[in-house]
């Protein structure tokens, strides 16, 4: 699919169709009811405009070709209420009954940019939220009796809404009692426990006071777009920037990870290679209390929302930023230190493809196997468009790693670890596949017109032709499934793990500013900020990832719902009935298209049964496998529990029993690896941790190499591998 063409088409059509007037030609929004006792959050004209345009985009270009009607309105209302109060801690049955008047009105209101109903619902939620935080603070000082045999129901999702505030008070009283009991069992004093709970709820109150209309609008749009399909998503301007940075695996700033602690911005980590690292003036734990741009005045950022503080610290490379710092270990009353840094482009290497080499023994023979972990399919499209020859991308990173594994490490085989890889760029999935196959189709894409386009790897040659395997799990999705599916269809390698997520839909990322007439943006800026378009932030509308097509493997099967089924299966660490596309009510169905014209590299059907047989033989003797299945059975059993005892003696006995069992099992596994036993509270070093799925996957690849010609990387004939 030519996404550039799609984007230009949208820009031309939507610019004409979707930009009538900001205020005129639309029904006036309903007056929003005010909620007493809380600072009511109200939508603005920018959000009204975005809401209207999203309705039009969905109705015109979403793959489902769906009409936003009363049925959608009903789903949105239910989703929104559940998103706000999933455990039913805040709303009462009376609130829910009142919200029923909006059930079949949201579709018409959204079409007109009227957000008064969901914002009113949020303000009711905010009022209840703050009321119960205050109630919890009062209850935290209660002298609870922990010898009673009462219980706390912590999972209330399937329970009815409480009939009254009195009943909800009782639930909150038990919630606070449970929190205090947890702290008491941990061995801290009553005074310390009260202090901890007080700080916890005071902090939650402080954070709730920072919620703005962008936060609420994001929640409203999430409920709306996910009612259409799980992967049509709107991103407000702040989230859009984070999405772009995650896709690019880079950003421009000082090179530090930041976190908020007690209203103070703290440096959590210094990123190697960045300005903060090279300057050697900042350390993890330092607190930032002020920021100045270049030679400008300092702004006090204490108490700010973290994204607002971060936006002041980030900035274009080459620009200067000054920070007012309280060094780690010093009191907040200490004299601040002022440092100056020049911003640079920071590459997030720890979130990029990485390699390691392991040597394993199979049948008395050592094998050197390179493992490439790919956390996502990323690409810095902005840098690539600007002509940067060193732009960041998954394929470029993996190609360099393969070269190192071949020339320096001299590995016998390579395994690609795609566990937990939720996808990303389709183009990167195609290019990455091209490193392992010579030429040919990689994926098929069916568009809105039901036209099927085949995307090929057009580059001759491969980066790695030797034995190859891919590890997947339930969280491997989208681009990961395209890559793993192509490797499987071509017979290029062995797929190991569990059935993947099953996300077989294609999203196009549309910048909302690209489809709105600039004159409208200028008028909007004047409305929002009282300017004539001089403030760029005032006119940022965010972006939408719109589902516009479906993926199909070269064998014709959609990855939707079914995903990729591995050749060598492991028990799933994640509940298959709760995680996956087939658990999403609004997901598109599975279907097929015609098979592509492709030539498999090998027919692994001749060797896979042998690999499965050897795998099962090892599993029958494996302590890891036995314990993994027992752990999964225990997790499944605990997953059915919805309540917990508030009796100290009973709860402590249960906790002690679980901890003792876990420690015993840990030491059995350590003993099987020749490691010394550990005691309760001992820390396990990274070098001593083990990954059973990885260990066994490497054994499978060692088996595979017995059936593979080391010179060509091709599977030997069946006659030769039985000798």
Nearest-5° Cα angle at 291, 285 to 293: 135
Strands 468-472 and 413-417: parallel
Location of structure tokens 């017979």? 491
The CA dihedral of 215, 234, 225, 128, to the nearest 10 degrees, is 0
Centroid of chain to Cα 151: 34
Provide the annotated active-site residues. 478, 489, 503
Q: Please list the residues that pair with 569 across neighbouring strands.
A: 497
The answer to whether the CB of 457 falls within 8 A of the CB of 429 is no
φ and ψ of 399, to 5 deg: -60, -45
Residue 454's H or E segment, with its range, is strand 452-457
The answer to whether the CB of 499 falls within 8 A of the CB of 447 is no
E strands, 504-653, in order: 505-511, 543-552, 568-569, 643-645
Name the nearest CA neighbour of 374 among 391, 390, 396: 396
Residue 362's H or E segment, with its range, is strand 354-362
φ and ψ of 372, to 5 deg: -110, 115
Name the nearest CA neighbour of 517 among 56, 6, 8, 16: 16
Both tokens of residue 171? Answer: 């639930």
329 vs 323: CA distance, rounded Å: 18
415 vs 158: CA distance, rounded Å: 43
64 vs 507: CA distance, rounded Å: 12
Angle between helices 692-706 and 608-621 (to 10 degrees): 140
Both tokens of residue 112? Answer: 């007109």
DSSP 585: T
Q: Is 574 exposed, middle or buried (0-12, 13-18, 19+ CB in 10 A)?
A: middle
């Amino acid at each position: 699919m030519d996404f550039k063409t799609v984007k230009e088409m949208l820009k031309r059509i939507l610019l004409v169709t979707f930009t009538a007037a900001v205020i005129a030609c639309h029904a006036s929004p309903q007056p929003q009811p005010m909620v007493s006792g809380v600072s009511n959050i109200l939508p603005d004209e920018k959000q009204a405009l975005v809401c209207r345009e999203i309705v039009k985009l969905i109705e015109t270009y979403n793959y489902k070709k769906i009409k936003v009607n009363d049925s959608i309105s009903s789903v949105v209302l239910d989703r929104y209420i559940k998103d706000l109060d999933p455990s039913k801690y805040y709303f009462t049955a009376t609130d829910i009954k009142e919200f029923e008047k909006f059930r079949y009105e949201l579709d018409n209101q959204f079409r007109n940019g009227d957000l008064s109903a969901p914002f009113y619902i949020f303000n009711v939620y905010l009022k209840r939220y703050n009321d119960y935080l205050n109630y919890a603070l009062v209850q935290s000082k209660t002298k609870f009796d922990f010898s009673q045999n009462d219980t706390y129901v912590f999972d209330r999702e399937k329970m009815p809404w409480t009939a009254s505030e009195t009943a909800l008070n009782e639930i909150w009283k038990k919630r606070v009692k449970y929190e205090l009991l947890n702290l008491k069992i941990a061995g801290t004093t009553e005074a310390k426990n009260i202090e901890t709970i007080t700080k916890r709820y005071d902090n939650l109150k402080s954070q709730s006071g920072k919620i703005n209309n962008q936060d609420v609008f994001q929640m409203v749009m999430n409920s709306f777009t996910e009612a259409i399909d799980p992967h049509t998503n709107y991103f407000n301007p702040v989230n859009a920037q984070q999405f772009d940075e995650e896709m690019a695996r880079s950003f421009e700033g000082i090179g530090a990870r930041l976190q908020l602690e007690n209203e103070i911005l703290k440096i959590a980590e210094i990123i190697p290679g960045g300005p903060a690292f090279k300057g050697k003036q900042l350390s993890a734990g330092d607190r930032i209390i002020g920021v100045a741009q270049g030679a400008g005045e300092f702004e006090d950022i204490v108490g700010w929302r973290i994204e607002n503080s971060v936006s002041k610290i980030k900035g274009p490379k080459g620009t200067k930023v000054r920070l007012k710092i309280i060094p780690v270990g010093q009191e907040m009353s200490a004299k601040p230190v002022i440092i100056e840094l020049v911003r640079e482009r920071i590459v997030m290497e720890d979130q990029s493809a990485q390699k390691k080499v392991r040597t394993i023994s199979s049948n008395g023979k050592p094998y050197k196997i390179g493992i490439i972990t790919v956390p996502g399919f990323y690409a810095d499209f902005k840098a690539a468009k600007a002509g940067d020859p060193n732009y960041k991308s998954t394929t470029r990173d993996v190609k360099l790693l393969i070269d190192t594994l071949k020339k320096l490490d001299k590995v016998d085989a390579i395994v690609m670890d795609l566990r937990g890889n939720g996808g990303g760029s389709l183009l990167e999935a195609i290019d990455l596949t091209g490193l392992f196959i010579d030429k040919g189709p990689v994926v098929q894409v069916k568009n809105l017109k039901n036209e099927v386009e085949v995307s090929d790897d057009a580059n001759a040659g491969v980066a790695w032709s030797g034995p190859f395997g891919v590890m997947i799990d339930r969280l491997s999705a989208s681009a990961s499934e395209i890559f793993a599916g192509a490797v499987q269809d071509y017979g290029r390698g062995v797929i190991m793990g569990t059935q993947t997520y099953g996300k077989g839909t294609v999203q196009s990322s549309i910048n909302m500013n690209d489809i709105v007439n600039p004159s409208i943006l200028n008028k909007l800026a004047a409305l929002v900020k009282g300017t004539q378009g001089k403030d760029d932030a005032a006119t940022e509308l965010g972006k939408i990832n719109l589902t516009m097509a479906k993926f199909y493997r070269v064998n014709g099967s959609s990855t939707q719902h079914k995903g990729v089924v591995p050749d060598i299966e492991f028990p799933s660490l994640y509940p298959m009935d709760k995680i996956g596309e087939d658990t999403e009510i609004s997901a598109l169905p599975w279907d097929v298209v015609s098979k592509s014209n492709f030539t498999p590299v090998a027919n692994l059907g001749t060797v896979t049964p042998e690999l499965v047989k050897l795998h099962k033989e090892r599993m029958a003797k494996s302590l890891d496998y036995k314990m993994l299945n027992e752990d999964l059975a225990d997790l499944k059993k605990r997953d059915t529990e919805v309540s917990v005892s508030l009796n100290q003696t009973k709860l402590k006995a249960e906790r002690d029993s679980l901890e003792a069992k876990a420690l015993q099992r840990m030491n059995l596994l350590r003993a099987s690896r020749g490691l010394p036993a550990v005691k309760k509270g001992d820390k396990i070093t990274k070098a001593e941790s083990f990954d059973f799925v990885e260990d066994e996957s490497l054994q499978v690849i060692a088996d595979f190499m017995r059936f593979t010609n080391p010179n060509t990387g091709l599977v030997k004939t069946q006659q030769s591998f039985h000798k």
